């Protein structure tokens, strides 16, 4: 043994130990190997037992007694408006599927099916391809949106057509799709992160709210899934149901909107490329109409999802998916003079006795600020509001300073979002010294205070905020917008604003003058209803400045047209705000829209009738909400 000589490193004195150890390792390794073969033999014996001796027994178990557990998607709660009209509800979607593994021959099955449901050449190719690509136990969709007749016929014939299955899933149907799209929103398949949070989302046919109220109140609308346990035979057909826990339908939602008023508003907005309007019930804060144009049809997004159609909507001109009423941020322009006037009166820098003269231009240091026309002398606060004199408010703003103006603006509800169930609200900007330092790291300049006094410069707000501001001025209370009606809610008692009621009265009179007195800027938009006056304020906000002048197209250079209003002037019930993007003057573009929508609101007087009481109330089960029984 020459090898053993080589082994003598480190153990030269006792070579026999090393040799012994080597032999012992070989012996034991073979023993271990033998044991491994033996234990593998046990495995082989076990497999033989299961797969050969007891195979028929297990085959029987596998074929005839297969238990399946299925989650059942719950029906989504429906959404109604205050009159009880359905805005969104689940509709049944009857579908036809095939399980290729259970077909004797897939083409034969499809031929048989085409006698009942038309199967086009394209569908046929798609099904054949899918069957080839994936396991035969994955169902392939043949047709959906079947009629009841087809569905019943298919179910009767199912024993003769192997591999065929029908099922009932649901899809979401939206009514008044154009006007309601922005508020109600739409549903879609759950995203990956949501699926990880809750595996129920993986259920076919389960949809999550993607936008609007559908998104905000998703959890409430969604409901709880149920389960079904049943036996299926070797052909995949249900033999019998073993038990089920029913799914629980999601809760219904009642909105404060009036679909009729909303439709009228939408129709009226359509004349313009981009415009939006908000109508509030000033007593309850309920949003009666909130429309934005351009709009889209959510039904195109949710049923038979077509990515091309979706992309087309998402990328269309002027972005129809954007809800301008809560996401459009505009310089409020002269509508902001209501705030400046109140703030000036509150600060004591102006009063009713003082008059100023407007030469058409205002000087601050070396800078010159122009008024839209030379109003001449004798301009007091009433005339300044009525005729929208810029010079008067330049001076008012300069006297009180930006911080006081900003504080009153915020007190009137500007510069914030509201927790009313509309997702994606923009905040707008109410600037002050601290804001500018934090945001731009620059000091505040006096000229910026002056232009903020007429709602230009850094100031921006959304139509919803302007409507809330108008409602607060009209009522003298800190009204907040609400979108969802609930029978449990008591009629809200909004806290009084911390402003002198006499000051509010002065401003309200100015706003009445704007619409109803001679030389008022919105004289042509006075209501035609006898004995009912509307109060309002026009605004025409400038878009162009020295920096962007050359980059903009003629359309983009045009001013935004704004109008805020409330009515009836003596006993306010409705407040509104309308913005027409690049619409020209507030008195010519925005005020007429508000006049028509306000007339409609006053004539229908939806706020005064209890919710659900009018159209189709008998058919509507559920809570009766009585909201606001008179202002």
The verdict on whether 334 is a catalytic residue reads yes
Q: Is 105 in the site for other proteins (CB under 8 A)?
A: no
- CA dist 342 and 560 (Å) reads 24
Helix, strand or coil for residue 41? helix
Shortest distance (Å) from residue 24 CB to other proteins? 5
Six-digit token string for 154: 């298919």
Candidate residues 2, 133, 366, 550; the one interacting with other proteins per rule CB under 8 A = 133
Six-digit token string for 467: 């409507």
Shortest distance (Å) from residue 62 CB to other proteins? 4
Q: Which of 402, 461, 394, 405 is nearest to 436 (CA)?
A: 402
Q: Is 29 in the site for other proteins (CB under 8 A)?
A: yes
> E strands, 132-216, where?
140-144, 164-174, 186-189, 207-211
Q: Which of 183, 101, 170 is nearest to 140 (CA)?
A: 101
- CA dist 259 and 176 (Å) reads 8
Candidate residues 135, 498, 518, 553; the one interacting with other proteins per rule CB under 8 A = 135
Q: Is 61 in the site for other proteins (CB under 8 A)?
A: yes
Q: Is 419 in the site for other proteins (CB under 8 A)?
A: no
Helix, strand or coil for residue 243? strand
Candidate residues 2, 5, 43, 443; the one interacting with other proteins per rule CB under 8 A = 43
Candidate residues 1, 52, 308, 441; the one interacting with other proteins per rule CB under 8 A = 52
CA angle (594, 597, 600) in 5-degree steps: 145
Q: Which of 532, 422, 435 is nearest to 480 (CA)?
A: 422
Candidate residues 1, 2, 57, 261; the one interacting with other proteins per rule CB under 8 A = 57
In this chain, which stretch among 21-29, 145-153, 305-313, 482-490 interacts with other proteins, using CB under 8 A?
A: 21-29
Shortest distance (Å) from residue 21 CB to other proteins? 4
Q: Which of 334, 461, 470, 541 is catalytic?
A: 334
- CA dist 465 and 480 (Å) reads 10
Q: Is 433 in the site for other proteins (CB under 8 A)?
A: no
Positive or negative: CA dihedral 10, 15, 17, 23? positive
Q: Is 1 in the site for other proteins (CB under 8 A)?
A: no
- CA dist 381 and 506 (Å) reads 8
In this chain, which stretch among 1-9, 294-302, 600-608, 622-630 interacts with other proteins, using CB under 8 A?
A: 1-9
- CA dist 74 and 89 (Å) reads 13
Shortest distance (Å) from residue 26 CB to other proteins? 6
Q: Tell me phi and psi for residue 424, to 5 degrees.
A: 85, 20
Candidate residues 1, 2, 5, 9; the one interacting with other proteins per rule CB under 8 A = 9
- CA dist 276 and 463 (Å) reads 7
Shortest distance (Å) from residue 401 CB to other proteins? 53
Q: Is 25 in the site for other proteins (CB under 8 A)?
A: yes
Candidate residues 1, 5, 37, 488; the one interacting with other proteins per rule CB under 8 A = 37
CB 487 within 8 A of CB 252: no
In this chain, which stretch among 104-112, 130-138, 399-407, 563-571 interacts with other proteins, using CB under 8 A?
A: 130-138
- CA dist 595 and 574 (Å) reads 12
Candidate residues 120, 134, 147, 311; the one interacting with other proteins per rule CB under 8 A = 134
Q: Is 91 in the site for other proteins (CB under 8 A)?
A: no
Candidate residues 108, 156, 197, 234; the one interacting with other proteins per rule CB under 8 A = 234
Which residues, numbered 63-82, are part of the site for other proteins (CB under 8 A)? 63, 66-68
Shortest distance (Å) from residue 190 CB to other proteins? 18
In this chain, which stretch among 202-210, 228-236, 449-457, 510-518 interacts with other proteins, using CB under 8 A?
A: 228-236
Cβ burial 63-95 (10 Å sphere, 16+ → b, else e): eeeeeeeebebbbbbbbbbbbbbbbbbbeebbb
Question: Between 242 and 281, how does the x/- string for binding to other proteins read (CB under 8 A)?
Answer: ----------------------------------------
HEC profile for 315-346? HCCCCCCCCHHHHCCECCHHHHHHHHHHHHHH
Six-digit token string for 560: 């935004």
Candidate residues 123, 126, 136, 347; the one interacting with other proteins per rule CB under 8 A = 136
> What is the binding site for other proteins (CB under 8 A)?
3, 6-7, 9-11, 14, 17-18, 20-21, 24-26, 28-30, 32-33, 36-37, 39-40, 42-44, 46-48, 50-52, 54-55, 57-59, 61-63, 66-68, 101, 133-138, 232, 234, 236
Which residues does the annotation mark as catalytic?
334
């Amino acid at each position: 043994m020459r090898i053993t000589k080589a082994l003598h490193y480190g153990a030269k004195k006792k070579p026999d130990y090393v040799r012994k150890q080597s032999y012992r390792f070989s012996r034991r390794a073979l023993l271990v190997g033998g044991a491994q073969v033996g234990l593998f033999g046990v495995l082989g014996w076990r497999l033989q037992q299961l797969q050969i001796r007891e195979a028929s027994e297990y085959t029987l178990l596998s074929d005839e007694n297969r238990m399946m557990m299925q989650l059942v998607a719950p029906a989504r709660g429906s959404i109604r408006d205050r009159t009880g009209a359905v805005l969104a509800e689940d509709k049944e979607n009857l579908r036809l599927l095939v399980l290729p593994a259970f077909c004797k021959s897939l083409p034969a099955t499809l031929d048989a099916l085409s006698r009942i449901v038309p199967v086009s050449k394209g569908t046929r190719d798609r099904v054949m391809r899918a069957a080839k690509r994936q396991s035969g136990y994955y169902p392939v969709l043949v047709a959906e949106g079947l009629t009841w007749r087809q569905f019943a016929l298919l179910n009767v014939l199912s024993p003769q057509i192997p591999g065929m299955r029908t099922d009932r899933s649901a899809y979401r149907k939206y009514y008044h799709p154009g006007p309601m799209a922005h508020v109600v929103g739409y549903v879609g398949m759950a995203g990956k992160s949501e699926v990880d949070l809750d595996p129920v989302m993986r259920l076919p046919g389960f949809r999550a709210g993607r936008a609007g109220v559908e998104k905000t109140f998703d959890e409430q609308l969604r409901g709880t899934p149920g389960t079904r346990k049943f036996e299926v035979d070797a052909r995949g057909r249900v033999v019998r149901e073993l038990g089920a826990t029913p799914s629980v339908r999601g809760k219904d939602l009642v909105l404060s909107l009036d679909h009729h008023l909303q439709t009228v508003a939408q129709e009226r907005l359509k004349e313009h490329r981009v415009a939006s309007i908000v109508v509030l019930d000033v007593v309850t804060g309920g949003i009666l109409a909130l429309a934005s144009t351009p709009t889209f049809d959510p039904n195109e997004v949710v049923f038979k999802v077509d990515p091309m159609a979706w992309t087309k909507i998402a990328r269309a001109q002027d972005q129809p998916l954007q809800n301008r009423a809560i996401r459009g941020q505009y310089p409020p322009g002269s509508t902001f003079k209501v705030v400046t006037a109140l703030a000036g009166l509150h600060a004591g820098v102006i009063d009713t006795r003082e008059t100023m003269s407007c030469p058409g231009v205002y000087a601050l240091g070396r800078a010159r600020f122009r008024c839209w026309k030379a109003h001449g002398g004798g301009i007091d606060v009433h005339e300044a509001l009525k005729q929208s004199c810029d010079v008067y408010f330049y001076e008012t703003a300069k006297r009180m300073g930006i911080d006081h103006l900003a504080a009153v603006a915020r007190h009137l509800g500007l510069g914030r979002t509201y927790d009313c169930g509309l997702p994606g609200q923009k905040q707008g900007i109410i600037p002050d010294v601290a804001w500018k330092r934090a945001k731009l790291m620059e000091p505040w300049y006096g000229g910026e205070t002056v232009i903020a006094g007429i709602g230009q410069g850094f100031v921006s707000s959304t139509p919803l905020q302007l409507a809330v501001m108008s409602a607060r001025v009209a009522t003298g209370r800190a009204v907040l917008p609400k979108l969802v009606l609930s029978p449990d809610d008591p009629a809200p008692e909004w806290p009084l604003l911390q402003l002198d009621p006499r000051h509010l009265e002065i401003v309200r009179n100015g706003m009445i003058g704007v619409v109803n007195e001679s030389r008022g800027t919105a004289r042509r938009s006075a209501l035609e209803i006898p004995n009912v006056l509307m109060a309002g304020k026009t605004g025409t906000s400038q878009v162009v400045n020295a920096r962007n002048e050359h980059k903009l197209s003629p359309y983009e250079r045009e001013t935004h047209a704004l109008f805020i209003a409330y009515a009836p002037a003596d006993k306010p019930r409705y407040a509104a705000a309308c913005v027409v993007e690049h619409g020209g003057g507030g008195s010519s573009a925005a005020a007429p829209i508000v006049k028509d929508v306000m007339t409609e609101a006053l004539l229908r007087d939806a706020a005064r009738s209890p919710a659900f009481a009018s159209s189709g109330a008998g058919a509507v089960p559920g809570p009766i909400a009585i909201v606001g029984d008179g202002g």
